Amino acid sequence: MKIIIGIGGVTNGGKTTLTNRLVKTLPNCCVVHQDDFFKKPDQIEVGEDGFRQWDVITALDMEAMINTVRGWQENPVKFARSHGVSLSPEAEKADSEEKGVHILIVEGFLIYNYKPLTDVYDKCFYIAVPYEECKRRRSMRTYTVPDPVGLFDGHVWPMYLKHRKEMENSCANIHIDSIKIN
């Protein structure tokens, strides 16, 4: 049996923390992180707000991401092995996904805003964090490309609200109080 779980939500909401905990707990569990599909910085547009548009779907190579998910769907055993994931003894013995349960977690901030992805989830979870907590967490993180002054209030949070509204209009979800995930 194959199960695909989506874990989406706000930036710095705890998606990766939750995902990492699930991977340690669940057998035969692989992950696709949306952050691994960002385009190169010189391919990211500068918007009318003066900021590079990292928080939009066009900043991501979504075709590559969906192809990665399809690779798992075609053969989760081969996918797990090629990504260094330990399989249960049952799954290791049989070179077939028919043995046991195979889980894929797709994790990211815009995973419910791309129709080809929304069609693959068996379960959807969404992590919401209040504005002040999100801003505090973001200020504590170090990014490869540092946040310019004003980015959170001028771009990140407004884009989050925009994308969340789009997602709510197109996808059923479950909200988790991320403040308790620590």
In the block, residue with structure tokens 């925009």: 162
pTM over cut 0.75: yes
Q: What is the DSSP letter of 41?
A: G
- Please provide residue 175's backbone torsions phi and psi, each rounded to the nearest 5 degrees: -95, 140
Transcribe 104-167 into DSSP letters: EEEEESSTTSSHHHHTT-SEEEEEE--HHHHHHHHHH---SSPPPTTHIIIIIHHHHHHHHHHH
CB atoms within 10 A of CB 157: 18
In the block, residue with structure tokens 């080809």: 116
CB atoms within 10 A of CB 115: 11
- State the pLDDT at residue 181: 43
Instruction: For strands 123-128 and 2-9, give the pairing.
Output: parallel
* Catalytic-labelled residue, pool 35, 49, 95, 122: 35
- pLDDT per residue over 126-150, tens digit each? 998 999 999 999 999 887 778 888 9
Distance CA 24, CA 145 (A): 30
Q: Two tokens at 128?
A: 């919401």
**Strand, coil or helix: 5:** strand
Distance CA 111, CA 9 (A): 8
Is there a catalytic annotation at residue 35? yes
H-helix or E-strand spanning residue 31: strand 29-33
State in words which class domain 6-180 has: alpha beta
Least confident interval from 3-17, 33-47, 74-88, 110-124: 74-88
Average confidence score pLDDT of the chain: 87
